[in-house]
Amino acid sequence: MRCWWLGAALGLTFGALPAPAATPLPADPAVRMAAAISQTELDVVYAVLYPTVRRAKFVLRSANEMPANDPLVHFERIDGGHPVIFVERSLVRRASGPDLTRGNESAVAATGALAIAAIELGVAGAAWKARLERVRDRALLSHAIGLAFADSSDRQVQKTRADVGWVHAHLKRGMIDGEAYRLLAQRHLAVDRAERDLIVGYALGFNAGCVNEMRQRIAFSDHRLTSISESTQQRCQ
């Protein structure tokens, strides 16, 4: 998607069963903080990210001018109602692709910086504003929010891939439309009708301004399945 301003064997004994091993906490404090941010909290911020992009002033800086703890994209301050966001100059030519994924550090950093800007502007609500005022390390919170958004986007993509694969594995040529619809409903997929065909909608991740979507057409002739095809589109605010 376009980021367009630039995820044993069990041993039995006669005694007590051993306690399950505790899941180790991530070493990165931003990852730990990201895990504590709920989807509802992310939704509040996401609703105001695009307006924040439109109000922001992006200023290129050399690497040695960027904060050491926030070296890629950094929310600096509010200037006359406009967030000032520093961008490390080389990102313009070396960004690792536009997708918001856990592996794209520049997209994660940009999303986090825009989120902090939206919170500082007050458009993300009182709860986020109070959270920002309590935090000691704003760069850490910025990184955590960016990671939380990337994880959410990645989960969307992973779920879509699993669901699309499931449809191709379970809906076969010649199946009647009623049976196909029943199976899709059991999978809890969003199904619409287009004349005699069934249309399934999927999410394919997002960034600050755009969402990627997939439409799967399950075509029928005389109520019998003839083909399954997919198309993708990007919808931007």
82-88/73-79 β-pairing: antiparallel
- What DSSP element (H or E) covers 218? strand 210-221
* Stretch among 74-88, 100-114, 215-229 having the lowest mean pLDDT: 100-114
Q: Write down the pTM of the prediction.
A: 0.82
pLDDT digits (tens, 9 = 90+) for 90-144: 887 765 555 788 888 999 999 999 999 999 999 999 999 999 999 999 999 999 9
Domain ranges, ordered by start, for the chain: 29-153, 155-236
Question: What is the average pLDDT value for the chain, to the nearest integer?
Answer: 88
Taking the C-alpha atoms of residue 18 and residue 199, their distance in angstroms, rounded to an integer, is 49
Burial of 137 (0-12, 13-18, 19+ CB in 10 A): middle
Structural contact between residues 198 and 181, judged by C-beta atoms closer than 8 angstroms: yes
Backbone angles phi, psi at 124, to 5 degrees: -95, 5
Taking the C-alpha atoms of residue 67 and residue 54, their distance in angstroms, rounded to an integer, is 24
Taking the C-alpha atoms of residue 12 and residue 2, their distance in angstroms, rounded to an integer, is 52
Structural contact between residues 216 and 229, judged by C-beta atoms closer than 8 angstroms: yes
What band does 151 get if pLDDT is binned at 50, 70 and 90? very high
Convert 38-63 into a string of H (helix), E (strand) and C (coil): CHHHHHHHHCCHHHHHHHCEEEEECH
Reported as half-sphere exposure (CB side, CA atoms, 13 A), residue 42 has a value of 22
Structural contact between residues 202 and 192, judged by C-beta atoms closer than 8 angstroms: no
Structural contact between residues 102 and 108, judged by C-beta atoms closer than 8 angstroms: yes
With a cut of 60, say whether residue 167 has pLDDT above it.
yes
In this prediction, residues 215-230 reach a mean pLDDT of 98
User: In terms of residues, how long is the chain?
Assistant: 237
In this prediction, residues 6-23 reach a mean pLDDT of 34
Neighbours of 131 (CB within 10 A): 15
Taking the C-alpha atoms of residue 10 and residue 123, their distance in angstroms, rounded to an integer, is 51
With a cut of 90, say whether residue 27 has pLDDT above it.
no
In this prediction, residues 194-205 reach a mean pLDDT of 95
Reported as half-sphere exposure (CB side, CA atoms, 13 A), residue 99 has a value of 13
What is the predicted pLDDT for the residue at 24?
56
What is the predicted pLDDT for the residue at 1?
38
In this prediction, residues 35-64 reach a mean pLDDT of 95
What is the predicted pLDDT for the residue at 236?
84
**Closest-CA residue to 148 (of 204, 98, 105, 102):** 102
* Stretch among 9-13, 98-102, 141-145, 193-197 having the lowest mean pLDDT: 9-13
Please state, for a pLDDT cut of 70, what percent of the chain lies above it. 86
